[in-house]
């Protein structure tokens, strides 16, 4: 390999490492909202429905804006948009640390949601620019940063926020400033790549007819919906389930949530490159349906088995999203930002609506019953049979 080629590859992996690191910081800060639920519920006497509304505000704010952001970045390159988006997260964290009423908590969640809406579509586009053709690998590297950040949130909450109180969240705004510096440099690199890659991607034809493309996108949307319906039940309420079912303390429950999120992080990093090798449809099949036997067993297991099986569920079910996203990007190769915004926005929106609905069900029927019902959701992955087979380039 020539020196020039080596330099180009090294640059790509530096960019992927930088965007993944920013994703780690972004999702770590955002996961603090969920990790704080037990503390906020006790301090403000919140119901499960109000907890669900917090999740709904954050997730819906992000989901409604992400497709719009995707369209904008496909048409006009807004330089340093990543840095400005992270600024909303910075303000949201400071607001959350000082919130004294439920409406202010809602405002803080909305600000952090706006930051997420700007970050995900543009950073996913940058990851594809830096992929060197290994699109699944690039998306996995980018997304594993976010999953690792989400997994770190509960640990940091258990170690710092729960013992020291809500005001300690302000210290995490330093991470937002660090992410802003990283993203400023990433945006400079992306600006250099923008014009050539924009016209190259826009010139590529769709691999399928419009009708088949629409059907495939609908199937992918259905798969994301079933996946995030189930994940919402874990990410928003798993700690409450563990506390009620097994009598764990909030700190112990946060550590158990970390085990699940660790499985999610490992599954994410594996799903993309495996999809590059064996095909994305195969990974999607395994990920969605392969988790079903474990989700069905989870509500009936003892504590030790619950910990192990939750890790396995996270490992399997999380491997699908990189494959689903890249599959959708390949269906519409000239609209990378729009597709990324649509699917990230869909994931956030489904998670938010699900959190609110599940919170209401938990208030009426109990959290254990909720897990017995949601355990059936992964079986909806059977619709993956309708996905077309895309020809993969070597």
How confident is residue 197, by pLDDT bands cut at 50, 70 and 90?
low
On whether the CB atoms of residues 134 and 124 are closer than 8 A, the answer is no
Distance of CA 57 to CAs 99, 108, 305, Å? Answer: 15, 9, 34
Other Cβ atoms closer than 10 A to 101: 9
Residue carrying structure tokens 């909450």: 157
Q: d(Cα 143, Cα 165) in Å, to the nearest integer?
A: 30
Determine which of 140-149, 185-194, 195-204, 212-221 has the lowest per-residue pLDDT on average.
Answer: 195-204
Distance of CA 329 to CAs 146, 175, 340, Å? Answer: 20, 31, 8
How confident is residue 5, by pLDDT bands cut at 50, 70 and 90?
very low
Determine which of 39-48, 269-278, 346-355 has the lowest per-residue pLDDT on average.
Answer: 346-355
Q: What is the distance, to the nearest Å, from the Cα of residue 194 to the centroid of all Cα atoms in its chain?
A: 25
27-77 pLDDT, tens digit each: 888 777 777 777 777 778 888 788 878 877 877 787 777 777 777 766 766
- Domains of the chain by start residue, with CATH: 7-386 (1.20.1250.20)
Q: d(Cα 311, Cα 392) in Å, to the nearest integer?
A: 31
Other Cβ atoms closer than 10 A to 94: 17
On whether the CB atoms of residues 378 and 295 are closer than 8 A, the answer is yes
pTM here is: 0.68
Question: What contacts 162, CB < 8 A, 6 or more positions away?
Answer: 38, 39, 250, 251, 254
Residue, of 345 and 7, whose pLDDT is higher: 345
Q: Please, what is the Cα angle at 118 between 70 and 135, to 5 degrees?
A: 55
Distance of CA 284 to CAs 320, 321, 322, Å? Answer: 5, 8, 9
Question: Angle, to 10 degrees, between the axis of helix 135-156 and the axis of helix 3-35?
Answer: 30
Residue carrying structure tokens 């996270």: 314
Output the pLDDT for position 310. 92
Q: How many helices (H) and strands (E) does the chain have?
A: 16, 0
Q: What are the tokens at 6? A: 């080596």
Other Cβ atoms closer than 10 A to 354: 25
Other Cβ atoms closer than 10 A to 331: 20
Q: What is the DSSP letter of 279?
A: -
* Nearest Cα residue to 136 out of 282, 22, 21: 282
Three-state SS at 366:
coil
Q: What are the tokens at 153? A: 């949130």
Residue carrying structure tokens 């302000």: 170
Q: What are the tokens at 235? A: 């990410």
Question: What contacts 392, CB < 8 A, 6 or more positions away?
Answer: 279
Question: Over 60: is that where the pLDDT of 175 sits?
Answer: yes
Q: d(Cα 194, Cα 190) in Å, to the nearest integer?
A: 6
280-315 pLDDT, tens digit each: 788 888 887 788 899 999 999 999 999 999 999 988
Output the pLDDT for position 312. 93
């Amino acid at each position: 390999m020539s020196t020039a080629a080596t330099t180009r590859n090294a640059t790509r992996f530096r960019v992927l490492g930088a965007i993944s690191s920013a994703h780690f910081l972004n999702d770590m800060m955002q996961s603090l909202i969920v990790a704080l639920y037990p503390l906020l519920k006790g301090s403000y006497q919140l119901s499960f429905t109000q907890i669900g509304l917090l999740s709904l505000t954050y997730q819906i704010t992000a989901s409604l804006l992400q497709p719009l952001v995707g369209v904008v970045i496909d048409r006009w390159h807004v330089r340093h948009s990543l840095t400005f988006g992270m600024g909303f997260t910075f303000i949201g964290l400071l607001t959350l640390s000082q919130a004294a009423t439920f409406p202010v908590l809602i405002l803080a969640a909305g600000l952090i949601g706006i930051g997420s809406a700007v970050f995900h579509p543009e950073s996913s586009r940058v990851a594809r620019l830096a992929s060197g053709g290994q699109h699944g690998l690039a998306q996995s590297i980018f997304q594993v940063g976010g999953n690792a950040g989400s997994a770190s949130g509960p640990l940091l909450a258990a170690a710092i926020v729960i013992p020291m109180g809500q005001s300690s969240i302000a210290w995490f705004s330093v991470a937002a400033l660090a992410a802003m510096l990283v993203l400023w440099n990433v945006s400079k690199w992306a600006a250099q790549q923008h014009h050539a890659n924009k016209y190259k991607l826009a010139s590529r034809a769709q691999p399928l007819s419009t009708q088949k493309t629409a059907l495939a996108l609908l199937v992918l949307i259905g798969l994301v919906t079933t996946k995030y319906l189930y994940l919402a039940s874990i990410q928003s309420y798993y700690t409450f389930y563990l506390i009620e079912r097994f009598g764990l303390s909030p700190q112990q429950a946060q550590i158990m949530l970390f085990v699940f999120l660790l499985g999610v992080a490992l599954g994410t990093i594996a799903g993309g490159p495996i999809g590059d090798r064996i095909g994305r449809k195969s990974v999607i099949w395994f990920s969605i349906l392969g988790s079903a036997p474990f989700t069905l067993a989870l509500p009936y297991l003892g504590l030790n088995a619950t910990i192990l099986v939750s890790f396995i569920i996270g490992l399997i079910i999380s491997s699908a999203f990189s494959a689903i996203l890249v599959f959708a990007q390949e269906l519409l190769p000239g609209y990378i930002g729009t597709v990324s915004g649509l699917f990230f926005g869909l994931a956030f929106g489904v998670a938010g609506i699900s959190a609110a609905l599940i919170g209401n069900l938990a208030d009426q029927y109990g959290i254990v019953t909720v897990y017995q019902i949601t355990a059936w959701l992964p079986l909806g992955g059977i619709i993956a049979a309708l996905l077309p087979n895309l020809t993969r380039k070597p």
